[in-house]
Structures are given as C-alpha cells and as structure tokens.
Amino acid sequence: MVRIPSNIQDLVSYKPGKPVAQIVQELGLKEWAVLWNNENNLGPSPKALSEIQSALALSHLYPDPSAEKLCSLIAQENDCTSANVTVDNGSESVFDCMLRAFFEPGDELLTCEGTFVAVYIWAKANNVHCEKIPLAAGYQFDIDQLIASVGPKTKAIYVANPNNPTGAMISRVELERLVHSVSKEVLVIVDEAYFEYAKALSEEYPDSFQMRRPNVITLRTFSKAHGIAGIRVGYALGPQPLIESIRKVRMTFAPSHLSQAAAVGAIQDVEHVQKTVEVNRKALSQYYGALENAGLSYTASFGNFVMVDLGSEEDAKQFVNAMLHKGVFIRHLRAFGLAHCVRISTGTVQENDLLARSLASL
C-alpha cells in the first residue's frame, strides 16, 4: 500500500454543504440572501464580462505564461514594474507557491489564531510548522506578541489586513512597527484581500507594498471588490528577487486565458469598484444598527463582512440555523477556531434589507 505522509493524512478534505438551490427548495424559501462567502453579490464587472467574451475565440491557445498585459496593468496601478508582480489562480495559490519557494526543512511560519483558515491548511500540506499565537483584544492581530515570538526558526510572518474572519484592521503605525522590528531575513506576508474595501473605510489603513521593504510581500485578489471570485485570479506585489522566486514554482499557464482576460477588464472598471465599496459602506452601517437593536455583539469591520460573537458554540449554531430558516445564509466560524462566532457578508441592497428584517424578527 502506498504510504501517505502524515501531514496529508491529518488534513481534512473540503466538504461543501448543500447547494443554495437545494436548501431554498427544501425550506420553501420565498426570498433569500447568500451572505456566507464574502463574495461581491453585485456581480462581476461588465468590462470583465466583455473581455471574457472577446477572449473566448482564442480558447484553443495556451494563455500567456507571463500574463504580461495583466501584470503591466497591476504594475501601473501600484507605481512599479511587472517585475514586482506575479499572478496565479487566486491569492491562496500565490501563498502556496510562497511556501514552496521560500521554506526549507525546519523553517517556521508565524501567525495568529483566528485568521484565514487556508493559511493553516497550506502550511500543513507543505510540511511547514505553523506557530500560532492568540489574537489580542478586539480580535486584533497581536503585533507586540508577534514581534516577541520571532525566533531562529521563523522564516515568515503572516498577517491578514483586514483580518478574515474578524474584520479587524492593522493600522499604518502598527504595521510599520512590525516590519521595522523584525530582521530583514524574516519575510512579512501581508494579505490584503479586502484592500479596496479597507482603504475606503479608513485613512489609517496602510498599503503595505508602498513601504517598499526588501522582505515584505503583499497579497491581493480579484475575488472580492472586483467580483470575479469564480474565475480565480490573485496576485503578489514585492521586491523583484522574491517575486521571481515565486514565479519559478508556479504552474506555467496559470491563470487561464479567460481568467487573465476577466482580470484585465475588472482592473480597468473603476466605476464598478467604486459602486461596490459604497454599497458595502452603507451595508456595514445598516448591519451595525440591526445587530445593536438585536442586542448582539459584533466587531467593527474593514472588509465586506461582519463577525458576530454569540458567546458559545451552541448559540452560534442556533443562530446560523435560525437565520437560515429566514433565508439568510451566513457562516459559522468553527473551522476558523472561533466556534462561538459567525460571519455575515454584505450583499445587494435587497439582501442587506432581508438580513436587517431577519434580525429584527428573531
């Protein structure tokens, strides 16, 4: 029998829940709001759809392995060159490449508990030890403790800003303190998946790439504000030597031809992103009011979601079930190590109204 490595045996494969359509039918729902995956429910950019349509006729050809057009547009937007950019099938895939590109046996990844669950999964899949420290008060990344926890085996520090699923933000001052407090031999990975939302919500939100540090890599995605989560395009920004190392281990023809086309359209659709962040701003304000009226505790968010603390795992489960029967699909955060909490994404105006009405009728 073929021996499966223990780190792979210990992983649990992803088991999707029932499709939305099936739940709607089983519960006889007349209206519903899908608010569990932090997607952009306004849909994809019209320009992204147009670019996909134009690219369909070339589907028999392999995509540009360097994704030059897309990387050039990303570089223009971030005041750098294409040598500072690499793209892949979502920022999660870029992170996986980073683990393979930079980590050697015995190296350690340092992060906090209660952050993006895929970080723990890919670290284990790559046989990288992940050292996790508790979140600070307010479900924040504990910057002081991260700095204090750096040891001789620490190869990289991962922080998500804002954090998924808590929504908490690391301020410019805090991020600069972290970066300037660690050795330049320690890689600092800053996951900015919700960049467009956060910079519209706070003047204190830092653009980590603009720090131009030799050991900082910034991760971003087209899955959130740009509305093409199903197409899978993410990217990294950083110093040329680090970016080139990531490129060496990525799949040759990723992202696909159609994915590159979609991202090219999406990045040029400034109006779609502006509309998205404005709808999100109003939704967060509406959510806060509805949650307060319902007597529920939440964490102020700098993404397109809000985390609600129900106090116990059982209460969180009951809350998720109660909302489901009202047609509101939300995420229980047990897999994130926050079993007493749930996460509610923002949606369309109609979906946000349904969420508010559902909370009022609990």
User: Which residues touch 157 (CB under 8 Å, ≥6 apart)?
Assistant: 109, 110, 111, 146, 150, 178, 182, 186, 187, 188, 189
- Specify the pLDDT at position 8: 82
Cβ pair 103, 245 in contact under 8 A: no
CA–CA gap between residue 99 and residue 115 (Å, rounded): 17
pLDDT at 295: 97
**Quick one: pLDDT at residue 5?**
85
* Confidence band for 6, pLDDT divided at 50, 70 and 90: confident
Upstream peptide bond of 206 is cis (omega within 30 degrees of 0) = no
Pairing of strands 341-345, 331-332: antiparallel
CB contact set of 321 (below 8 Å; sequence gap of 6+): none
Burial class (CB in 10 A: 0-12, 13-18, 19+), 26: exposed
Instruction: Choose one of 269, 289, 323: the last residue of a domain.
Output: 269
Does the structure show a pLDDT above 90 at 129? Answer: yes
305 and 164 share one domain? no
Tell me, yes or no, whether 166 and 153 share the same domain.
yes
Q: Is the residue at 41 inside a domain? A: no
Q: Name the residue among 107, 156, 114, 151 with its Cα closest to residue 133.
A: 114
Per-residue pLDDT, averaged over 10-22, amounts to 79
pLDDT of 288 above 80: yes
186 and 139 in contact (C-beta within 8 Å)? no
Indicate if 278 and 160 belong to the same structural domain.
no
297 and 333 housed in the same domain: yes
CB-CB contact of 340 with 332 (8 Å): no
Q: Are 250 and 97 in contact (CB under 8 A)?
A: yes
Same domain, 216 and 68: yes
For the chain, the C-alpha Rg in angstroms (whole number) is 20
pLDDT the model gives residue 32: 96
Task: Write the pLDDT tens digit of every residue in 334-343.
Answer: 999 999 999 9
pLDDT at 13 over 80: no
Whether 196 and 175 map to the same domain: the answer is yes
Average confidence (pLDDT) over 19-33: 93
Question: What is d(CA 336, CA 160) in angstroms, rounded to the nearest whole number?
Answer: 13
On whether residue 174 sits in a domain, the answer given is: yes
Same-domain status, 161 and 257:
yes
Q: What is the pLDDT of residues 170-215, one digit of tens each?
A: 999 999 999 999 999 999 999 999 999 999 999 999 999 999 999 9
Statement to judge: residues 10 and 59 lie in one domain: no
- If pLDDT is split at 50, 70 and 90, which confidence band does 12 have? confident
Q: Say how many domains are in the chain.
A: 2
Q: Could you tell me the CATH number of the domain that includes residue 336?
A: 3.90.1150.10
Distance CA 250, CA 228 (A): 21
301 in any annotated domain: yes
* Percent of the chain whose pLDDT exceeds 90: 94
- pLDDT band of 352, cuts 50, 70, 90: very high
- State the pLDDT at residue 15: 67
pLDDT digits (tens, 9 = 90+) for 323-336: 999 999 999 999 99
Domain check: are 57 and 167 in the same one? yes
Q: Which of 17-31, 162-176, 216-230, 272-286 has the lowest mean pLDDT?
A: 17-31
Q: How far apart are CA 199 and CA 191, in angstroms?
A: 14
Give the model confidence (pLDDT) of 222-259 as tens digits.
999 999 999 999 999 999 999 999 999 999 999 999 99
In a domain, 38, yes or no: no
- Where does a domain end: 269, 292, 319? 269
92-110 confidence digits (pLDDT tens): 999 999 999 999 999 999 9
Residue 39 resides in a domain: no
Q: DSSP assignment, residue 270?
A: H
Q: Do 297 and 254 reside in the same domain of the chain?
A: no
pLDDT confidence tier of residue 9, bands split at 50, 70 and 90: confident
Q: Rounded mean pLDDT of 331-358?
A: 97
Instruction: Examine the domain organization and report whether 158 and 298 are in the same domain.
Output: no
Can you give the CATH number for the domain in which 64 is found? Answer: 3.40.640.10
Entry pTM: 0.95
User: What is the β-pairing status of strands 216-221 and 187-191?
Assistant: parallel
Is 40 inside a domain boundary? no
What's the domain range around 309? 6-30+271-360
Asked if 109 and 257 sit in the same domain, the reply is: yes
Examine the fold and report which residue of 252, 269, 286 is the final residue of a domain before the chain moves on.
269
- Residue 1 in any domain: the answer is no
CA distance 272 to 66: 26
Contacts with 33 (C-beta within 8 Å, 6 or more apart), sequence order: 327, 328, 329, 347, 348, 350, 351, 352, 354, 355
In a domain, 35, yes or no: no
- Find, among 43, 53, 94, the residue nearest to 255 by Cα: 94
